[in-house]
Amino acid sequence: DAGVIQSPRHEVTEMGQEVTLRCKPISGHDYLFWYRQTMMRGLELLIYFNNNVPIDDSGMPEDRFSAKMPNASFSTLKIQPSEPRDSAVYFCASSYGTSGGAVTGELFFGEGSRLTVL
Amino acid sequence: RKEVEQDPGPFNVPEGATVAFNCTYSNSASQSFFWYRQDCRKEPKLLMSVYSSGNEDGRFTAQLNRASQYISLLIRDSKLSDSATYLCVVSASNAGNMLTFGGGTRLMVKP
């Protein structure tokens, strides 16, 4: 089975440009997460969706960041305009929920999108 | 104070050594605990869950101390392939059961 698929794997862009990161979760998973990882701050949860609905976006750093999940098999994270401090690895992850609606402990991560903003 | 704290390391150990990492968490409502492993320039992957009574998976042993709010990971007979960053992960009922990741402890096993 295919795992979580992210694209692009690498992106180098200039400050001010729009960046769109894409994610295809594992089929059947009802939770999708966007994380950002940097050396300084580690893994930070940006936003997560349950059954395509955004549940908590409190980790989104500012209005320049937006995320959508138009259907169960696709999500995007957009940064507009991008800034050098947005340089990081962005991970998408998906998981099943429990019967009680909570997230299980196993998140399946994509390989990440490494973003460099010059 | 971070919710989940780990010594970043690196821990440099020879092959065959036993090494232990600790992780402390601040949210007393934490209910579920995990160790993830992240290889260099790769994505994190679940290594093992941590149960209240402690649990073992081959050379790996995880322990939980709720009173002191820490969890540990012990690796026996270290292999070169164990070199990675080990992430402590906690979820709490008063945080929507979302997973909170520690900053990770880097292990380097040398020949």
How much of chain A exceeds pLDDT 90, in percent? 79
What is the per-residue pLDDT across B19-28, written as a single tens digit (0 to 9) for each?
999 999 999 8
Are A111 and B43 an interchain contact pair (Cβ–Cβ within 8 Å)? yes
Nearest chain B residue to A10 by CA distance is B41
Residue A76 has pLDDT above 80, yes or no: yes
| Tokens at A82, concatenated | 């991008």
Q: Which residues of A85-109 are buried (b: 16+ CB within 10 A; e: fewer)?
A: ebebbbbbbbbeeeeeebbbbebbb
Are A105 and B34 an interchain contact pair (Cβ–Cβ within 8 Å)? yes
Please give the average per-residue pLDDT across B19-39, as a whole number. Answer: 93
| pLDDT for position B2 | 78
Q: How confident is the model at residue A102 (pLDDT cuts 50, 70, 90)?
A: low
In chain A, which residues have their Cβ closer than 8 Å to the Cβ of B87?
Answer: 43
Whether residue A5 lies within 8 A of chain B, CB to CB, comes out as no
CA distance B52 to B35: 14
CA distance B54 to B31: 14
Residue A100 has pLDDT above 60, yes or no: no
Of B44, B49, B97, the CB nearest to A102: B97
Residue A99 has pLDDT above 90, yes or no: no
Are A105 and B104 an interchain contact pair (Cβ–Cβ within 8 Å)? no
Q: How confident is the model at residue A103 (pLDDT cuts 50, 70, 90)?
A: low
Whether residue B91 lies within 8 A of chain A, CB to CB, comes out as yes
How many CB atoms sit inside 10 A of residue A20's CB?
14
| pLDDT for position B33 | 92
Q: Which of A73-77, B12-16, B25-29 has the lowest mean pLDDT?
A: B25-29
Please give the average per-residue pLDDT across A42-58, as a whole number. Answer: 92
Amino acid at A117: V
Do you find a cis peptide bond into A61, omega within 30 degrees of 0? no
| pLDDT for position A98 | 65
| Arithmetic mean of pLDDT over chain B | 93
Whether residue B35 lies within 8 A of chain A, CB to CB, comes out as no
| Arithmetic mean of pLDDT over chain A | 92
* HSE of A114, CA atoms in CB hemisphere, 13 A: 7
Residue A1 has pLDDT above 70, yes or no: no
